[in-house]
A and B are shown apart, each in its own frame.
Chain A
Amino acid sequence: MHADPIGVLTGAHFIDGDHACSEGAIAAGCRFVAGYPITPSTEVVERIADRFPFVGGVFIQMEDEIASSIAIQGAVWGGKKAMTVTSGPGFSLMMEHIGLAAMTETPCVFVDVQRAGPSTGLPTMPAQGDMMQARWGSHGDYQIIAIAPNSPQECFDLTIHAFNLSERYRVPVMMMMDECVGHMIERVVIPAAEKIEVHNRKVYEGPKENYLPFEAGRDLVPMMVKAGDGYRIHVTGLTHDEKGYPNMSVSAQGKLVQRLMDKIRLHADDIIKYEEENIEGADIVVVTYGITSRTAIPAIEQARAKGLKVGHLRLIVCWPFPEKRIRELAGRVKSIVVPELNMGQMVYEVERCAAGKCNIVSVPHAGGTVHQPKDILAAIEKSIRGK
């Protein structure tokens, strides 16, 4: 399907990542946004609030992030595509409803424009400290998808992608932006509506009798109906059976949680997205995501100028993690260097997949600004010293 032209501002724009994210959501068909002000994400909802009266959307500023993160789910069951937008402290409050969305298979998008934490931290300054929280923040076992854009253009493109993945797999999708990407102003090209691919959830329209709203076919993703369609569905955060009814048995829990995991795991190859440069013949691979992918480029260029064989792998989808590719690379390179605007988070995944097959060097940074390329360069050089 193609985007509804009513929401699409086709043309070249000079806007920041936050505003590009808003435009991406509108182009993707998002027509309900609930949010609560928090720096550095607020510009996303400000633009939405400005634009929505003209595109058939409803924006509401809720009383807190807890309310925002569940109001969107009410709207999704009312038939809309919906998202909420926040930063670290608000993201912490939303964890409850990331779990609810995962459990009830409610497609929705959570945008986290990351700032430095913990707690109130550095409200106006960048970090990438919520990467593990995105994956593991709510209690229990579940899978989500998380995406890290590195430019305003990607904030537009990947917000559409986030909605598409969310609709396809009925899973909460996180847009893991950061303050730099959110506030960076660059050229953003919005294509014509008919060039924008938009996916919608599979809708059940069959007989009402014996309808099982949580019965999944081979793709493990159940078809959806909405409130008011006459199917009289029941949706609960309790462990439930295919009918949606609470079922407190060990077997129902095992079956449901396994499917929630598998519907992402088994489609991981379709979901995973990364970009590689100079990987063939590399001795060293720098693994990056978000804004750090851009601060790593001068370091990689300088290292290559010094004769080091350095490649670059940029994660675009961070969760699910490209386990196979990292495992494969670890078997043939000398080292993997992982700069992140946190004290080391995704590097744990790299280490796990590398399983001791090569040297792993973390380049931590507590946030507040971006890495100095010279620090990444030093880590690249150090990573193969003595090997």
Chain B
Amino acid sequence: MPEELYEIEANIPANPIEEYLRMDRMPHIWCPGCGIGTTVNCFVRALQTSGLDLDKVAMVSGIGCTGRVAGYMNLDSFHTTHGRAIPFATGLKLANPELKVVVYSGDGDLTAIGGNHFIHAARRNMDITVILINNMIYGMTGGQVAPTTPVGATASTTPHGNFEETFNLPFLAESCGAVYVARWTAHHVRHLTKSIKEALAKKGFSFIEILAPCPTLYSRRNKLGDGLDQMEFYRDHSQIKNGADTKTVALEFQGDIVVGKFVDKERPTYLQAMNQHYQKKFGDRYVPSEEMRKVFHA
């Protein structure tokens, strides 16, 4: 190889999203075939085109495989306790409304142990973006049943098959008041990237559920092949239905997957409502914090 060509190549970053990641923390912990990394790639692509000042973007994760995303992002990032990313994000956003606060966590973390926080943040229309990776089980602890495990699937704590009804997460989010609700899979990288960009631009509680394979602890135990087989399944069994009624998008074991943007509406966010309310009630007597004044009373 000619020397100058070699030099040019050496100047090309190994991965175009490198500057968004904490490369000194690589390699990551995720298994081969895991879908989380793909979603992170989409998230970074969305960030790149979002126009956001990255110094003003903060990421909050809970615990679990997806909970590790915060630690790999080159952003202000907080790896909190199990299920509590949303209330931490709530405090962070209320303290400094200038920040774009993103919660990135797993299905068990956000909807089982953190379920109460999830529904209340949606109800309040708290100004945060929640990205939920649904691999249908607890990955990090060894593949236990989750509120998202389909009926009929096998998990380590349902060795004879799961018979518990599952959450339909887009329906849950919408019924609690989320203003942006979408579902994609790790296969839908372009749609997902666009959707994340929209969610980041949305004011209020925006929510994206992303189905992602866990070949190690879900696919293998359910004899569904490896990560690639799951991606092929997503490709062959997903139907894009933007605007679908979220009541109709429940997931079934190896059933068809309805993906798309289901909800995109306007309603006053928590911060708008709070500021408007106090402004109306107290006029000039209302003293918002300095950060609040910048964003809402400029």
Contacts and interface: CB of A to CB of B under 8 A. Distances in A.
A246 B29 CA distance: 12
Q: How large is the interface on B (under 10, 10 to 19, 20 to 34, 35 or more residues)?
A: 35 or more
A237 interface: yes
Contacts of B25: 245
Contacts of B156: none
A115 interface: no
A55 interface: yes
A230 B58 CA distance: 10
Given A74-B88, A78-B95, A226-B96, A56 B287 contact: yes
A257 B115 CA distance: 32
Interface string A5-19: 010000000000000
A80 B290 CA distance: 11
Contact of A228 (B56, B79, B84): B56
Contacts, number: 149
A226 B291 CA distance: 13
A229 B60 CA distance: 16
A67 B126 CA distance: 14
Q: How large is the interface on A (under 10, 10 to 19, 20 to 34, 35 or more residues)?
A: 35 or more
The prevalent SS among residues of B at the interface is helix
A228 B282 CA distance: 30
Interface stretch (A57-65, A142-150, A289-297, A327-335): A57-65
A237 B80 contact: yes
23 contacts: A34-B91, A53-B278, A53-B282, A54-B282, A54-B285, A54-B287, A56-B288, A56-B292, A58-B274, A62-B87, A67-B116, A70-B91, A74-B90, A78-B91, A78-B93, A79-B96, A100-B81, A228-B58, A237-B80, A237-B81, A238-B79, A245-B22, A245-B24
Contacts of B292: 56, 58
B71 A245 contact: yes
Interface of A: 6, 31-32, 34, 53-58, 60, 62-64, 66-68, 70-80, 82, 96-97, 100, 226-238, 245-246
B110 to A, nearest CB: 13
Given A32-B94, A70-B81, A100-B80, A234 B289 contact: no
Interface string B95-130: 110110000000000000000110010000000000
